Structure 1
Amino acid sequence: MNPRFDTIIAFVRVAETGSFSEAARRLNLSKSMISRQVSALEADLGVRLLHRTTRSLSPTEAGRAYLERCQRILADLDEANLLVSHLQAVPRGRLRVSAPLSFGIGHLAESLPGFLARYPEIELEMGFTDRHVDLVEEGWDLAVRIGRLADSSLIVRRLAPIRRLAAASPDYVARRGTPVHPSELSGHDCLTHGGRVHSEWRFTGEDGKPIQVEVKGRFDSDNGDVLRDMAMAGLGIVLLPSFFLGDGIRAGRLVPLLEKYVPLDSSLNVVYPHGRHLSPKVRAFVDHLAATFGPEPYWDRGLTEQAVR
């Protein structure tokens, strides 16, 4: 017997809120009705979906798996409804976006006036932080994130590749020489990121195998802009995304190093919850970012001609 749709909705709301009372309030039904619907669903499926105690309520292992699938189904239904709705035509309302601090200030902010001019009915709230915010818990519509993203329940759209580059100033290279293989970095001053002056940098050999090199130096920072500036001052070699380094390389204040060993394993992404990815305001912002940055980001233009190998 196939479960009724209303029992599925009741289960999802109970599992999401952890409360029969809250689920009943959101669905405008009585608590007893919600309880009967969930019990009916469990009877239809022949499996217990929720652990119930006097103090707590949580999904069982089967309940968690069923919840994930049901949430996807409901999200797909929301998409279908939006697709045929007149609300799809005009992006409007408040849009809350979280973005990394340095990338947000250095690159994303420049694109925002054009977006707001194109969509006058959108009110945009930007939060710049390197902390990975919880979109659902904190009420963000979407987030811009850089790197290799772990699996999650969020929808991910890849906007552009993010190259990492090792680079140093011409003065540093003249004084200390040009490393031609990652293993030579152990004899250089390296500007590290992450709260310690000893760090491990990852590269890829010409045979495709990973190369891990322990590097050290006298300076560490949690901010890419500061690390770039220290490299331009001649204090060592830095390994950073190219959006930090492009202007310095084109201006001749930095030279890229070891380019053929740096893996292309990172990307610029946007992430958003399933229920929001066909919202007109979210779709408009994501499409705007895709047109602005991808698939060949402007900060990489002209860098290959500058390479030192």
Structure 2
Amino acid sequence: MEKLRNEAAIVQLLDGKFIEISLHARLTVEDVLQVLASHCSLNEADKGFFGLAHVDDRHNYFWLDEETVIANLSFSGEPPGKIHLTHSIRYFVDSIYSLSNAVTIELLFLEIHRQLYKGELLTNGSVYAKAAALLMRVYDSDIANEETALSLLHCILPIPPPKRVFAYFSGSENQMEGEIFSIYCAYRNMPRGDAMLNFLQLISTWPRYGCRHYTVLDTDKNSCLLAVSNRGLSLYENKDSIKPNKVYTWDVLDNLYYKDNEFMIEVRIIGMPKKNNFEQPSLDCSMLSEDDALAQAVLDPTTQ
């Protein structure tokens, strides 16, 4: 019998816990997703929002196709024996109210909180303060004083805060924290479920909601941030930018080319007919990826 490269998969869940799954020669990603859906109490309608991914040390997501057999997978820098994977949100909903299961909403909340903590979700200072106050209410409704509130705040949000947020409060951490605590006091009696829904609904309006982010180089070899989502591609000047410099929805992207480290995207001018097979394509946008993660993201069915 052929020896398997991996004997077990260590899967990290959104609540931070890990589950170990023994592997055999025919166990596929779809099989593991079924096990995880049962473990997390996901219903049939909502389990399709989740996927299984390998996340590298730069936090790039490599989503695995459902037909993939896990036992013989290999990733750079990971020794054989046990493969480490992540169970996470793969398809983000446009509206939180399209979800039918409270468990799914809770898991989406954990994913969004993780992205907010890592600085992947940004907005202006006043809206950020409101989101922070709602987040505090989700985790604790009975904070007696501002000192206790600040202790919680430092645990659930990045310290120091994003540069744009800090600048909004004139570089004063005390001013920012005081504003957040003041808003929290108004939410103190709000039910936890309502606070969570309001938090998610607020975040879903932010430009970078529902995206996976990749650091790339443009044609002039300047570093920038590319956000890939089910809506299309958005190009940001850097990780601290709130609004994208360019947005390309999938309906204007005719062809995607990838060779070595070079990424080329053909953008169709709105109002112009699609090119036929006899025309020579012209490239309006090209980028250089620092690694293969961007290529896999754009070619992934999630983004089509």
Q: Which has the higher contact order (CA 8 A, sep 6+)?
A: 1
More helix by proportion, 1 or 2?
Answer: 1
Rg larger for: 1
Please give the TM-score of this superposition, normalised by the length of structure 2: 0.19
